[in-house]
Amino acid sequence: MKIGELAQVAQTTVETVRYYEKEGLLPATARTAGNFRVYGPAHLERLRFIRNCRALDMSHAEIHTLLHLADQPAEGCGAINTVFDQHMAHVDERIRELVSLKAQLALLRQRCRTEQAVDACGILQGLAAMETEAKPERHTHLG
């Protein structure tokens, strides 16, 4: 199948397929005499795998690792468990960050409970005051 067909069947875009090829997540394909890429069932399976990993917010590095491990079917799955354990730890950290963010937003929202003039808005005053405070470092495993 051609790239457009692959993208449609995998529910993604042609640009995404090309990007994953460039990043080394999808293997190189054969080409027709007209220089069109030709994809097979293995490409579709791998693309779906990548898409599912991205749906779980996995980084390209994590996906590379999982694909490398998947290409060694006789090996044990301990390394796969390690990748997932680390990813879940990143998710836990991000949840903590989001809970903290929500608390900050709620405190700001409490500063403006009634309709009033913009120059008296407690939210805007709070935002202006926050500019002098140190911003906490955002945690991400995406680099």
Token duo for residue 139: 């945690």
3-state secondary structure of 83: helix
This prediction has a pTM of 0.76
Question: 142 φ, ψ to 5°?
Answer: -85, -5
Residues 6+ apart with CB under 8 A from 38: 1, 2, 29, 30, 31, 32
Q: Beta strand 30-31 with 37-38: parallel, antiparallel or unpaired? A: antiparallel
Structure confidence at residue 79 (pLDDT)? 95
Looking at the structure, tell me whether residues 35 and 70 fall in a common domain.
no
Structure confidence at residue 114 (pLDDT)? 84
Structure confidence at residue 40 (pLDDT)? 93
Enumerate the H helices of 37-77 as residue ranges: 41-55, 60-70
Q: How many residues does the chain have?
A: 143
**Domain containing residue 101:** 58-143
Structure confidence at residue 113 (pLDDT)? 83
Q: Mean pLDDT for each consecutive 10-residue tract of the chain (143 residues)?
A: 94 95 91 89 95 95 96 92 97 95 92 86 89 58 53
Q: What is the CATH number of the domain that holds 37?
A: 1.10.1660.10
Q: What is the CATH number of the domain that holds 126?
A: 1.10.1660
